Each structure stands twice: as structure tokens, then as C-alpha cells.
Amino acid sequence: MQKEVEEIINAVDRHEELFNNAIPMIASENVTSSQVRVLLASDLSHRYAEGDVGARFYQGCEFIDVIEARAIKWAKELFNAEYVNVKPVSGVNANIAVVFALASPGDLMMALSIPDGGHISHAAYSVPGLRGLRLKELPFDPKEMNIDVDRAVQAIRELAPEIIMLGASLFLFPHPIRELRTAADEAGTVIVYDASHVLGLIAGNKFQDPLREGADVVTSSTHKTFPGPQGALILCGNAQSEAIDRAVFPGTVSNHHLHHIAGLAVTLREMMQFGESYATQIQRNAKALAQALYQAGFKVLCEHKGFTESHQIAIDVRDFGGGDAVAKRLEQAYIITNKNMLPWDNSPDKPSGLRLGVQELTRIGMKESEMIEIASIMKRLLMDEEPVNTVKQDAIALKKDFQDVKYSFDGGAAYRNPVKK
């Protein structure tokens, strides 16, 4: 039996070694500070605290109350929100709770399709389907890589959906909340904004402010541009808070993950202190990488708009075999990315796109010069067809000097935490 256990420990150790050396550009991932890692491994990971602060169903929650109350307070301050719920254990869980709270079976929901950038939880087979909603796609302009405002306003007025889900998985530019708000008010439509990918940019005042621009509710995971532990939160005004509270607990969450709440609290303080400089550098890095890839000859989307205003870059890589083949070849060279559907794609397995994110590279201290070097490495592998092992060694050499988490209080090691000593 111990041999099998050793196999698991060895796999974890090898995973850590991989990410010690690799260039991580998955747009939905990040790394926490060392302080947060310690909290995630604490005794909180063993405990239950069903209920709310000061009103638990178990004893032994005195200090858990302190932690959760502080996380709620700091989230309210950071995002200027009347109401915050930190119990959802994932972004999908947060979306489920909000949709169950604010929509009824048979209601109409509008959201982006997956090829247009929508998240899987916005699709008919996920949250809307679970709630028995009818679903219509928000009109999208593939040239601008954003919602088509005129057509969307017309559709809202004609269809009067009960709920609109904004936000995206491929999310290059702020969504037109203000432009849709008037039509939504006329139709009696609730606007929910899924900020999962851009919450860290919102925290740093560098993307958009959905609550001030007209969103009724903001849902978000807490581990993408926002560099916390895996989990989620919900922000809104007091008008929706009671229904959402019930939908979260006991509706969709029994015991929330208490070690994640502690880690979230620390990350909120990190972003209150460092969020603006961190978000600023993310945007600079994204633009620098996009420009360097474009100049190298890659088909980076939206050159006429400066490529991106977020942490993400979208590239059409059909010339190199498509997103699946390119992502696998990059992985061989220790460059970790993901294939991604673009608006003209039909197959999620064989899409034409590649999605890059720079938030984790930024978190470990990389800046514009490193983005240019990464673009050069990608060109050498995909265009110049240099041997994979040669390119891999250069990727490892680049990563060697970027092992510590920045924009944190402890300056702790990002990866130096192997299971096997």
C-alpha cells in the first residue's frame, strides 16, 4: 500500500518540478503567496462551519467567525460592494447560486456562446439547463471581439430576458454594461457579470467597475487574475442579498472551504496594498507579448484595438496546425498554454485558437522584456522549427530567475514547496 501512496507523492513532486521550470500561461491559473499556502494546509481544512458568522450550527467556530467576517469586510472595501458572500467554492457554484436566486424555470437568459468567449457555465448544458432556463446567445462582433451593442440592445428589447450573463472565458475587452443597462431596465432584466477572469484587474482599478457601470450582481472565482486560493465570491447590492444568501446556504453550499476563506482574506489584503501596480503590470505584459508575437508574424487578434485590455491574448494558429496541435507542441517545450475556440470554430476539440494569459508570469515578477523573450522562444519553436529540446532549455533558463511571488507581504517562494523532502 505504501508504494501506491509514494506514487501519488511522487506525481505531486514531479508536478511541482514541472512548474518550477515551465513558462505558465494558462489564463485561468495563478499562484498564491507563501502565507496563503500555509493557511491552505492548516487545520481549517478539516473543519465545518455551516451557517453564518455568529450563527453557526456547530461549536468551535469562534476563530472561524473572525476569519470570515474579516474576509467579507475587506472584500466590501476592495470592491466597494454593499453585500459580499464568500462561501461559494467555485465560480460555477457562484453562478449556480445566483441563477437559482434570481431566475425561475422557463425564464429566458442571454449569454455569450462558447465560440464567442462564453464560459461553459453560461451554456445550455450547464447552469441555465440545471435551472430549466431558455437560453439565447448575446450578439457578438468577432472583429471587435466583444458584444455587438446595437444588436444586443435590440435583442434585449425584443426578447425581454429575465437575466443577462456578461463576462467571458476568452475576455479581451471590457463588456458594454452601461450601454446595455437602459434596455435592461426597460425589459426588467437583471444583469449578472461573471468577473472570474478579470477580478484582479477590477481590484486594481484597471479594467472596468461592473457594479458602478450597472451590473446588479458580480460573481467571480478567486484564483485567476485575482491571485488567491481556488474558491469564489458574490458581490451585489442589498436588494439581492437575501435571495442569494439562501441560494448559497443551504441551497448550493453546505460547508464552505474554511482554509480557502483564510487564504482569500490574506489575498484581499495583498490586493488592497499591491493590486493597482500588479494589474498595471499585467496589462503592460499582455500588450508587450501580443505586440512581440504580432511582429514575429503570428495572427494575434484585434491588432486595431491594441490586442487586449486584459491579461489575455488570442491567436489564430491554424497556420501551425490549430490550437490543439500548437498547445501540445508548446507543452513539449515547457510552455504551458491552452487551445481555445474562436468565433468561427465549431469543434472544441480541434479549435483554431490559442489563448495566452500573463497574470501568473506577472505574479512571479516578469515584465515587458521577458514577454519579448517568450515571443521569441515561441517563434523559434513554431515558425523556425528549432528542435524542441533546444527551445525547452531556453524556456527553463528564462524561468530560473523567476521563482518567487511578488505583490505579496512575504515575498515567498512560488513553487519551492515540494511534498517530498
Residue-wise DSSP of 139-196: PEETTTTEE-HHHHHHHHHHH--SEEEE--SS--S---HHHHHHHHHHHTPEEEEE-T
Regions of the chain with pLDDT less than 50:
415, 421
Note whether residue 91 is domain-resident: yes
d(CA 9, CA 191): 45
Q: How many domains does the chain have?
A: 1
Say what the pLDDT of residue 120 is: 87
Note whether residue 334 is domain-resident: no
Residue 163: all three cell numbers together: 437575466
Note whether residue 391 is domain-resident: no
Say what the pLDDT of residue 419 is: 52
Note whether residue 418 is domain-resident: no
Report percent pLDDT > 70 for the chain: 97
Note whether residue 28 is domain-resident: no
Name the nearest CA neighbour of 165 among 111, 90, 214, 94.
111
Note whether residue 130 is domain-resident: yes
pTM for this model (two decimals) = 0.95
Say what the pLDDT of residue 416 is: 53
Note whether residue 211 is domain-resident: yes
Report percent pLDDT > 90 for the chain: 92
Say what the pLDDT of residue 413 is: 62
Note whether residue 165 is domain-resident: yes
Task: Please list, in sequence order, all residues whose beta carbon lies within 8 angstroms of the beta carbon of residue 162, skipping any fewer than 6 positions away.
Answer: 102, 103, 104, 107, 108, 109, 188, 189, 190
**What is the CATH number for 104?**
3.40.640.10
Range of 77's domain?
A: 36-268
